[in-house]
Structure 1
């Protein structure tokens, strides 16, 4: 059983109170909602309608194998972008002030072949609370024994090469999600320090019905409707998920597994040295903060510091509150980690993998 963790209540505690007051003042003084605005709704519709259009073009059977393959890859990219830009905000309750709107848009997660209920447990509850804490944050357990992101994990001979083989593994991430991960997480008795031995009956039904429908829409229907052989359909399905998995894997890892981020351990009493908010600054990093393209594609996940501190604020507002968060962190002598571009963050992740593959 995992150690029961708690965060320090004294370490830099004025930081969080000051920051919340300043961010709240930003919205109240401008009389704007922290939820989605017109630009956010436009972006959400772009990705949702684009996804539907691409899927329809594939099933129209009006194209040859190569164009369909290209559309399948594009569909995988759009699926990842829906996860970033629609599902993620909605499942955090950040898209709208209305629960039914968040629940409806959170259902877009099914378009990725993933389960919203399981995600809320593993991501919202566990990852956001115990970020980068070995034995508690399962997001740093990419492929236990194969990829070493936890400095406490035993060093194996093959880890010396993990900076090379880990990136291709990211391309398998969504395939694992569709066929394995959700089932494994759903039937675990405990995730982190959360008891997950029982679930509401309707969640069992939704898990299996949604998975079944996904297999029908993305495997059975293409086999029936397209003038392609079974192996060509399979290649298209795998290509779609490899594109989706690579985009998802890279964006999420560049936020917590780059140089400078820490992997803190609790003391003998199970206490983390820092308060929760300060802990987020030590374990999270931004990338490409000035790139409009990164902000559009990544759904604000290139500004993970702001997201981890204020997950219930829609990501469309992150560029504005970034100024407040960064200034306040510096006032309190706290780190604010960021890589100037996607490429620099990618290289930093590569170097961290290389370091963890050599140092015990």
Structure 2
């Protein structure tokens, strides 16, 4: 993936300013139509999902009181995992986007909701709603692109530390809610600064995160295991909570990876913000900087309808249960203006995202020029790039770039010959 402005074949080069403005007007009309039609059916949906999640959690925790018995442990763990995913994805994420604020229900409002996550709602709303959704896929502005710890674009300079990013990404997936909390705090950057140079309120935000972590730990690993002491199931209950949190973290990470990381998703230069970005330009960035997951209605609910990531980024504050119907109109708009509507089933989309993580952990051109036959030689070159100094890396990168150019020229010549 290369930022869209540097591509040889820019996928939006065929669009005129008038086209982009018209796309903006059409999407505004779709948004207004849905906003005007929100009503009791939508309100009943979110109330039903919340009730289902809470009953499922209570039932699962009740079953785990007897988790010394393997069937009860399996049933309780599965139920608790599903309830945690529902709370995070279809409820918490979407409530905090203000999707249900129009109901004027203080119990289901973005200003009052506190979700089952160690990062406080207010901190997450700033880093996600305000920053990510404003600067979607702009390299250097959208920190959700790699969360500041991964290389996600060929235009990002390669450093030896990126060689371990697949392992780092997996670790981040296992402890995802804690990674998000650290990301929201910009922990790595702020801890490097002297205390008197840190942003105002940083210490207070750290305190809030610590408080939430303590509450979560106490609930999942003290209170509920303690209640299971009576049946001799304390350790089993603790293990079930640990597994449920891990499952929720892995699932959430996978869904989010599918939204912006897969091959084919576009990224953008931050210089574009120096120009006056129109409403249509912003829409185009959301359309091409996001990817969908196709699947069943149950899968869509379990992803928090982030399987409709394109529609979510176009209209983040519209009710998630309406994204499926919005998708039909949005996809038709893509086809009308000859744009790539990027959608795959879950497994191929997850594979695509991880493929890019692995590919970009290596220097540009490495995978393209590596074959089974030359693998030992290529691994030797990679070792030199990892262990060598800047001068060595520059020279070897130039060598890889030349190999890529020769290979592409050969393929192009072959295509011309075949066509003739």
1:13 match: 21
Q: CA deviation at 1:254?
A: 0.2
Q: CA deviation at 1:41?
A: 2.5
Which of the numbers 133, 137, 148 marks the counterpart of 2:142? 137
User: What RMSD, in angstroms, separates the aligned Cα atoms of the two structures?
Assistant: 3.7
Task: State yes or no: 1:312 paired with 2:317.
Answer: yes
Tell me how far apart the structure 2 counterparts of residues 235 and 272 of structure 1 sit (CA, whole Å).
Answer: 53
| 1:81–1:150 distance in 2 versus 1, CA, 3 Å | farther
| 1:310–1:333 distance in 2 versus 1, CA, 3 Å | same
1:3 match: none
| 1:92–1:230 distance in 2 versus 1, CA, 3 Å | same
2:44 match: 38
* Residue pair 2:85, 2:248 contacting (<8 A) in 1 also: yes
Mean Cα deviation higher: 72-81 or 13-22: 72-81
2:306 match: 301
Mean Cα deviation higher: 254-263 or 228-237: 228-237
Which of the numbers 355, 358, 370 marks the counterpart of 1:351? 355
Deviation digits for residues 199-256 of structure 1 (CA, Å, limit 9, x no counterpart):
5999787655444322221222145333369876664443232211101000011010
Mean Cα deviation higher: 254-263 or 274-283: 274-283
* Residue pair 2:185, 2:205 contacting (<8 A) in 1 also: no
2:289 match: 283
2:108 match: 102
* Residue pair 1:90, 1:106 contacting (<8 A) in 2 also: no
| Runs (5+) with no aligned partner, structure 2 | 1-15, 192-197, 365-420
Mean Cα deviation higher: 69-78 or 309-318: 69-78
Q: CA deviation at 1:185?
A: 5.6
Give 1:215-294 correspondences, 5 Å limit: 215-227=217-229, 235-267=239-271, 270-271=274-275, 275-288=281-294, 290-294=295-299
Tell me how far apart the structure 1 counterparts of residues 203 and 151 of structure 2 sit (CA, whole Å).
Answer: 36
1:90 match: 95
Give the alignment's TM-score, normalised by structure 1: 0.78
| 1:136–1:76 distance in 2 versus 1, CA, 3 Å | farther
| 1:77–1:142 distance in 2 versus 1, CA, 3 Å | farther
SS of 1:343's partner is helix
Larger helix proportion of the pair: 2
Deviation digits for residues 260-318 of structure 1 (CA, Å, limit 9, x no counterpart):
10221123874498821111112101111x52122121121100111011011001001
Tell me how far apart the structure 2 counterparts of residues 312 and 269 of structure 1 sit (CA, whole Å).
Answer: 23
* Residue pair 1:133, 1:263 contacting (<8 A) in 2 also: yes
**What is the aligned length?**
336
* Residue pair 1:134, 1:152 contacting (<8 A) in 2 also: no
Deviation digits for residues 95-135 of structure 1 (CA, Å, limit 9, x no counterpart):
241262433796351x2333111110111011111112222
Task: State yes or no: 1:64 paired with 2:72.
Answer: no
| Runs (5+) with no aligned partner, structure 1 | 1-8, 190-195
Tell me how far apart the structure 1 counterparts of residues 350 and 164 of structure 2 sit (CA, whole Å).
Answer: 16
Task: State yes or no: 1:155 paired with 2:140.
Answer: no
* Residue pair 1:34, 1:313 contacting (<8 A) in 2 also: no
Give 1:155-234 correspondences, 5 Å limit: 155-156=158-159, 159=162, 166-167=169-170, 169-177=172-180, 180-181=182-183, 184=186, 197-198=199-200, 207-227=209-229
| 1:270–1:35 distance in 2 versus 1, CA, 3 Å | farther
* Residue pair 2:158, 2:362 contacting (<8 A) in 1 also: yes
Higher relative contact order (CA 8 A, sep 6+): 1
Q: CA deviation at 1:152?
A: 4.0
SS of 2:292's partner is strand
* Residue pair 1:83, 1:112 contacting (<8 A) in 2 also: yes
Tell me how far apart the structure 2 counterparts of residues 112 and 137 of structure 1 sit (CA, whole Å).
Answer: 22
